[in-house]
Structures are given as C-alpha cells and as structure tokens.
Amino acid sequence: MTKHTAALDVAFFGSSLVSAYWNGAATYYRGIVRALAERGHRVTFYEPDAFGRQQHRDMSDPPWARVVVYEGEGEDGVLRALSDARGSDLIVKASGVGAFDELLDREVLALQDTRTLVAFWDVDAPATLDRVHADAEDPFRALIPRYDLVLTYGGGDPVISAYEALGARACEPIYNALDPFTHYPVPPEARFACDLGFLGNRLPDREARVEEFFLRVASLLPASSFMLGGSGWADKSMPPNVNAIGHVYTHEHNAFNCTPRALLNINRESMARYGFSPPTRVFEAAGAGACLITDEWAGIELFLEPGTEVLVAGDGEAVAAQLQSLTAKRAREIGDAAHRRIVGEHTYAHRVAQLEALLDVVPTAIAS
C-alpha cells in the first residue's frame, strides 16, 4: 500500500453521501470523506438509488468527492460501479448499503490485488455481529477473513475481539467524530425551543429505549416541553407535552442542537450493550456546544467526561432528575466544555490521520 504521504485513490461503496434520508451514517461518511480529501486523497463514493434518498437529497454533489449513483434495482448498475472502482488503491465496502449488499460484500474482494487493499467498514458492528453469530451460514461470515482489514465506527475491544474470533486479519475502530465545517454553534431558533430535544428515526432496536429515556420523562415532567425530531414517529402515542416534528434536515441540525436547554442521546439497544459506540449525534451536539444528556454506556469517558462535559443517566427517572436540576448557566458550561473537548480531540481530521497510520502498517501485519 502506498504511504499516506502520497495521494490515494479511494473507492467507497456506502448507503449515501448526498442524502441523510433514512441514512444515519450520512454525517459519518461526509466527515470521513471530506477529511480524506483535505489530506489530498481522491474519493469516489458509489451509492444506490434506493429508499427515496435521491429524492430527498440534502446536499449537491460536493467538490471534495466524486459521487456515482447507480440503479437500485437490477444488477447492471452495481456491476458497472464495481468495474469503475477497479484499480483503486483502497476499496471500501460499508455495511448497510441497502441494495445488493451480499453481492458487494463478495465482489469487492474480486478487485483485491497487490496494489489494491480492500476493507469492510462496519457502520453498525453490533447488528452485523449479532446477525452473523445467530446464523453460522450467513454468507458474510466466510468472507470476513478475506478482507485486508475491518474498520468499525464503534465497539471498542468487544467488537475487535468478536471480529478477530471470526477470522478478521485486522480490526480497528474509527470512531464517529465532529465535522466542524457542518456542525458548530449557531443562534437559537424559536421553532426548536424546548426543555429537552431528541433527534432520531424510529427503529425497532431503539424504540423501547426512546419510550424509557424520552417519552417516560415527558410523562414525569408534564410542565416541561419536549421535542422529537426524526422519521417514523407519526403514529406513535405520546404525552401532550411532546412536539413530534418529523424529519429534520441536516442543514437544520445546528439550530435544533443549539436551541433546547438540553439534548438527549439514546443509543440503540445493541450499541449500548456492546459499548464504546458513540453515535454521530453525540459529536454533532457537542460540536454545536449543546448540553447533552446521554443514556449510560461503557466507554463514554473516552469521548466526554461525565458530570462536566456530558450528563449520564441510567433510566428515565435519572433523565428527569438531571433535567429538573439543570440551570441555564450549568447547561452552557457543560456545552462549552464538551465543545472544547471534541474540537481538540475528536474531529474527522483526527480519525483520518489514524486511518492513514493504520494503512501504513496493516499490510506488514498481514504479511507477518
């Protein structure tokens, strides 16, 4: 593999770079790809026309990446994309593309050679590992040892150990981070005013935790105001003090983050169970200087210090207690401290520097 002092041609197969619609990985992809470009690398991002994402774009094709959209139905488009990616220095197949995942998992490995490193980048390692462990015949299971390396956006030692037990040659977390170009403090907007805001799509692996950490809190504090952003909640029964506003576009995230007295992060059940899996919302909120209350999960202190840079709660009653005692002054202090920590240690520039160092040593480690 070429040293990172030289520019790399990177082919990235993911769900979508240009649309965050039903695509929680959008912020992560954008941060990583933009930081790669800033370091001089050339990235082509291949994404399917699927799930209405192209019809709900929230950005045009960026100047820092070439975007190739292929047909979401029929294999011809994805096969042309694979052919186009041949000869790249690094080819990445992300988890959860949403169309032709099994085909892509398998066929990117056909592009592997002495010049081309092929990586699997798992943006939902808990879900992938739970699926593979539940089915010994899962087709991805046999492919894991063939990838040059496995990257994950979270999971820490539990995920590394699990992937190594499945035969991964190398596994390294490249955690979520802050893209300071897109998430930063802005003036509050009255339309997002509330005591506690939460932003997240309705997913089976999260819904019970939203009921406990958000909706139950609203019931416990009827005099407080709550705002729920995200898709899929329209038919969900909610307390009268919850304002469900539907999908919030990424260009509105800063105002959504900066306006409430506090923001809530709720990890999906599987990510909380594995730990060390901070979602993009943590970094978006801290990047905007928001006061964040998060559900409890192992590893939070690697990113933010509980009590001074983030508030941690083990259940809905604890969230309610945190919110009741939270003054505007303390909320500002916590948000400012979180902003300093994340900007100083956890931007995508930090993550890509880590990735470059890893690409330099992985081939040697494999050869040995």
The per-residue pLDDT for range 35-69, each reduced to its tens digit, is 999 999 999 999 999 999 999 999 999 999 999 99
The sign of the dihedral angle between the CA atoms of 287, 289, 295, 300 is positive
Cα(114)–Cα(215) distance, integer angstroms: 53
Distance of alpha carbon 325 from the chain centroid: 30
Domain for residue 302, yes or no?
yes
Q: Are residues 151 and 228 in the same domain?
A: no
pTM > 0.95: no
pLDDT at position 6 over 80: no
Convert 202-245 into a string of H (helix), E (strand) and C (coil): CCCCCHHHHHHHHHHHHHHCCCCCEEEECCCCCCCCCCCCEEEE
Could you read off the pLDDT of 222-269 as tens digits, one per residue? 999 999 999 999 999 999 999 999 999 889 999 999 999 999 999 988
Contact yes or no for 353/1 (Cβ under 8 A) = no
Order of strands across the sheet with 196-199? 242-246, 226-229, 196-199, 262-265, 292-295, 311-313
pLDDT at position 154 over 90: no
pLDDT at 362: 66
Contact yes or no for 192/309 (Cβ under 8 A) = no
Of 80, 83, 88, 73, which is closest to residue 42 (Cα–Cα)? 88
149-152 vs 171-173, strand pairing mode: parallel
Q: Are residues 124 and 233 in the same domain?
A: no
Q: Are residues 225 and 96 in the same domain?
A: no
Order of strands across the sheet with 149-152? 66-71, 42-49, 9-13, 90-94, 117-122, 149-152, 171-173
Q: Are residues 200 and 241 in the same domain?
A: yes
Cα(105)–Cα(95) distance, integer angstroms: 9
Domain for residue 4, yes or no?
no
Quick one: average pLDDT of 208-222?
A: 97
Q: What is the CATH number of the domain that holds 65?
A: 3.40.50.2000
Domain count for the chain: 2
Contact yes or no for 291/218 (Cβ under 8 A) = no
pLDDT at position 353 over 70: yes
| DSSP string for 21-32 | TT-TTHHHHHHH
Q: Are residues 135 and 214 in the same domain?
A: no
Contact yes or no for 217/239 (Cβ under 8 A) = no
Domain for residue 3, yes or no?
no
Contact yes or no for 280/267 (Cβ under 8 A) = no
pLDDT at 250: 85
Domain for residue 146, yes or no?
yes
Could you read off the pLDDT of 280-323 as tens digits, one per residue? 889 999 999 999 999 999 999 999 999 999 999 999 999 999 99
Q: Are residues 143 and 201 in the same domain?
A: no
262-265 vs 226-229, strand pairing mode: unpaired
pLDDT at 268: 86
Residue 268, domain extent: 190-345
Q: Are residues 195 and 66 in the same domain?
A: no
Q: Are residues 134 and 254 in the same domain?
A: no
pLDDT band at 365 (very low <50, low <70, confident <90, very high): very low
Tokens of 203: 């997913």
pLDDT at 363: 57
Q: Are residues 99 and 209 in the same domain?
A: no
Q: Are residues 251 and 335 in the same domain?
A: yes
Q: Are residues 333 and 357 in the same domain?
A: no
pLDDT at 72: 87
pLDDT at position 351 over 50: yes
At CA 126, angle to CA 275 and CA 133, rounded to 5?
A: 125
